[in-house]
Structure 1
Amino acid sequence: MKYYIISGEASGDLHGSNLMKGLKARDPEADFRFWGGDLMQQQGGRLVKHYKDLAFMGFVEVLLNIWTILGNIRFCKKDITAYQPDALILIDYPGFNLRIAKWAKARGIKVLYYISPQIWAWHSSRVHGIKASVDKMFVILPFEAPFYEQYGFPVEFVGHPLMDVVQEVAPEPGFRARHNLSKAPIIALLPGSRKQEIDRLLSVMLQVVPLFPEHQFVIAGAPAQHAIAYWQILEKVYLRPGDRERVKFINNQTYLLLQEAEAALVTSGTATLETALFEVPQVVCYKGSPLSYFIARQLVNVKYISLVNLIMDREIVKELIQDECWPERIAEELQKLLQPEERERIAADYKLLKEKVGSPGASLRAAGKMYEYLTGQSA
């Protein structure tokens, strides 16, 4: 069968690649055309647009790039029409994908959605549009199935695909030596995958460095961002020579870095769950443009911004948002994470989190259920 897949972010590229792997296992004739990234491209098929050219974060940023976004939507519709897929598979990325879903459904194309938009966080009225536009939804968070059931829309909970990813990462004994890291304990800095996130948060995170002289700080570079974007920020932050020497940069090795880290400063998003699954104590940081943050505050109807706290429905990791996200406050919470009692408490909560997230095999389960739905065959 022919599958047209749309993913607009780094995490979607990761989960999309595993989904494609699962679809190929069930459907040897699978043919892919997709929007995604390097990981999806490794699975074969044709990459139409790379996610690094698609990710715009925040209300203001979207408005500034509205003509580019509208142009991409027009192009996508033409490309799908020319390809004539047996199924359109959408992965998260709701601002774009929900528009495409409505258009495709009206033209008789089967629409499958993997990784639900976070409509439970805000604008839950969109569930009615999803019911009308999506043939089958596959969700990865345990509280999403009950949410959709309230609206009479049955969905499939397949577990979280990050469980597979974490299981597959093997420790690398020579990791520190290869990246010129000392024996000092590591604090990992995960400032996000989008340029807007990196610009706003990395400089704040780096100002914590002088307050922890016994640690080395390692910036986790996102695969879609060039290293120079990080170094430019590092050069702008005032650090004494001795402090600057304790800051390192490693690109596209986040999971190996987390295996070595004693603690982490993490931008809200998928990275908070990744960090938790690697059992690394963390402080969650978020700072948006003032206008975007103001608008979000009026619309958001959840208590937390990190997936870790949302899944557990209580605060197990500290969230420092907007006006609370400043160096001294971050340092205060980071210092707590280095204490044995706090680390034991977090380790116990992370264990409960893993139990809630579900067993490994989410992408294979999703791919199998998609194939069964499209062909009418059972496993």
Structure 2
Amino acid sequence: MKYYMIAGEASGDLHGSNLIKELHKLDANANIRCWGGDLMQAAGATLVKHYKELAFMGFIEVLMNLRTILKNLAFCKKDIQQFKPDVLVLIDYPGFNLRITEWAKQQGFKVAFYISPQVWAWKESRVKKMKQTIDHMMVILPFEKNYYKNKWDWDVEYVGHPLVQVIEEFKEKVDSSEMNVNSIKDAAVINQLLTVNALTTHHSPLSVAQPLTKPIIALLPGSRKQEILKKLPVMLEVSKAFTQYQFVVAKAPGQDDAFYEALLQPYPNVAAVAGKTYYLLAQASAALVTSGTATLETALFGVPEVVCYKGSNISYQIAKRLIKVKYISLVNLIMDKLVVKELIQNELTVENATRELHSLLEDEERKAQLQKDYADLKAILSAGGNASAKAAHSVYTIAAA
């Protein structure tokens, strides 16, 4: 059968790739065409357009790139028409994908939506049209099923969170290679995991002659240039107060080395790793993390974290008036309490981040409570089973109907 998938971000590419792998198990003749990234392509889909061409962040950025977005929409509709899929599978990316759902319904295509837009946070008015144009909604956050049923009388499917399986499989792979991901203080293990996996300073690769003997603080500043430029300078400045730790930046896929070079130049003792974020989190003592999926990944690795968010002032002021949730971190939203500290906009200062990081590293009672909350979080997200497999079964069923 023929499947057409659209993902517009790195996280969508990851979850889309696992969905594709599971679909191939169910449908050996699956013909999958996609908008996504390298992972979806590697999983067996024909890549039409890379998400790097689609990622625009914030209200102002979207307005500035409106012409490009409209051209992409027109091209996408034409490509779907020519491919004639048995089912259209849309993965998050609501600004683009919800426009496609309305059109696709008019054209008679079956539509499955995997990973719900966060309408419970803002733009709740979208739900009425979503219910009319989406044949099957698959959600990955436990509270979303009740939200849709109780407030909108819409039966959606909770499949569990795909990151649980992704991270467990990663840990199994590392364990099988005899690299103990729990040996945080083992300098040899840290060196093995990261040095051989492209850990570099901005000058040269760290070699065996330069072993990592310090515990690691991970810096995850996001994937888009705009957000990295807002948050990474603050994170880097924090490193000056923790000379007993090795700070390591997780580079985003799609951002070139030259971009990071300028930012890292004043910090010769800060290293960077490209394409190995999970190896980094497996060895980190703590982390400064931008809001989004990364906060959940960090928690599932059991790493104490401070959530950092700062956007353009105009975009932030607009968002502040529209968004209706108590927290910006997925960890806090799912647990419905403040599990991890959030430093938002003007609160994201070097002083505040330094204080919170000290507390995470030194307050034993806080660390113990955090690990208990992390364990509860994982249990909640695991309740649905293997999310990718469940979602693939639903997609296959819709395509075959």
Q: Specify the TM-score bucket, using the shorter chain as the normaliser.
A: over 0.9
Q: Structure 1's 176 and 251: CA in aligned 2 closer, same or farther, altered over 3 A?
A: closer
Write the distance in 2 (CA, Å) between the matches of 1:36 and 1:313.
32
Matched, 1:175 2:193: yes
Distance, in Å, in 1 between the alignment partners of 2:10 and 2:144 is 22
What one-letter code is carried by the residue in structure 2 that aligns with 1:97? N
Where do 1:116-135 residues align within 5 Å?
Answer: 116-135=116-135
Equivalent pair of 1:220/1:251 in contact (CA under 8 Å): yes
Task: Write the mapping of 1:287-326 to structure 2, written as runs, cut at 5 A.
Answer: 287-326=310-349
Provide the rounded CA distance (Å) in 1 between the counterparts of 2:109 and 2:11. 25
Q: Which residue of 2 aligns with 1:375?
A: 400
From 283, 302, 305, give the equivalent of 1:260. Answer: 283
1:200-211 to structure 2, matched below 5 A, reads 200-211=230-241
Task: Provide the secondary structure at the position in 2 that maps to 1:223.
Answer: coil
Q: Which residue of 2 aligns with 1:153?
A: 154
Shift of 1:375: 2.3
AA at the equivalent of 1:164: Q
Q: 363, 378, 401: which is aligned to 1:354?
A: 378
Match of 1:148, as an amino acid?
Answer: Y
Does 2:218 match 1:188?
Answer: yes
Q: Which amino acid aligns with 1:207?
A: E
- Asked whether the 8 Å contact 2:239–2:247 carries over to 1, the reply is yes
- Corresponding residue SS for 1:137: strand
Residue identity in the other structure for 1:224: G
Alignment of 1:20-169 (within 5 A): 20-149=20-149, 150-169=151-170
| Displacement after TM superposition at 1:326 (Å) | 1.0
- Give the conservation status (yes or no) of the 8 Å contact 1:215–1:246: no
Distance in 2, matches of 1:37 and 1:46, equals 10
What code does the residue aligned with 1:113 have? F
Matched, 1:332 2:355: yes
In the alignment, structure 1 segments of 5+ residues that lack a partner are none
Following the alignment from structure 1 to structure 2, what is the Cα–Cα distance between the partners of residues 184 and 55?
36
**Shift of residue 372 of structure 1?**
2.0
What amino acid does structure 2 have at the position aligned with 1:370? V
3-state SS in 2 of match to 1:68: helix
Q: 1:215 is matched with which residue: 238, 245, 252? A: 245
* Preserved CA contact (<8 Å) 2:306 2:356: yes
1:263, 1:338 within 8 Å by CA — same for their partners in 2? yes
**Take 2:47 and 2:58, find their aligned partners in 1: how far apart are those partners?**
26
Deviations 1:330-371 (A, max 9, x none): 101111100222211110110010111124411011101221
| Aligned 8 A contact 1:211 1:331 in 2 | yes
For residues 111-145 of structure 1, the C-alpha deviation after alignment (integer angstroms, 9 at most, x for no partner) is: 00000000011111111010011000000000000
* CA–CA distance in structure 2, aligned partners of residues 47 and 301 of structure 1: 36
CA distance in 2, matches of 1:101, 1:369: 18
State the 1:177 CA deviation: 4.0
Amino acid at match of 1:371: Y
Give me the whole-angstrom Cα distance separating, in 2, the residues matched to 1:263 and 1:58: 28
Q: Tell me the number of residue pairs that the alignment of Structure 1 and Structure 2 aligns.
A: 369
- What TM-score does the superposition give when structure 1 sets the normalisation length? 0.95
Contact 2:87 2:395 in 1 (8 A): no
Q: Is the 8 Å Cα contact of residues 227 and 251 (structure 1) preserved in structure 2?
A: no
State the Cα distance separating 1:176 from its structure 2 match: 3.9
Aligned twin of 2:202? none
Does the CA-based 8 Å contact 2:305-2:341 persist in structure 1?
yes
Partners in 2 of 1:58 and 1:142 — Cα distance? 27
The answer to whether structure 1 residue 273 and structure 2 residue 296 are counterparts is yes
In the alignment, is the contact (CA less than 8 A) between 1:258 and 1:275 conserved in 2? yes
Between the two proteins, what is the percent identity of the paired residues? Answer: 56
After superposition, give the CA deviation of every residue in 1:247-297 in whole Å (9 maximum; x if it has no partner).
Answer: 001001000100100000000000000000000000000001000001001
| Equivalent position amino acid for 1:145 in 2 | K
1:229 & 1:191 partners in 2: Cα distance? 13
Q: CA deviation at 1:45?
A: 2.8
Correspondence list, 1:236-247, <5 A: 239=266, 244-247=267-270
Residue 199 of structure 2 corresponds to residue 198 of structure 1:
no
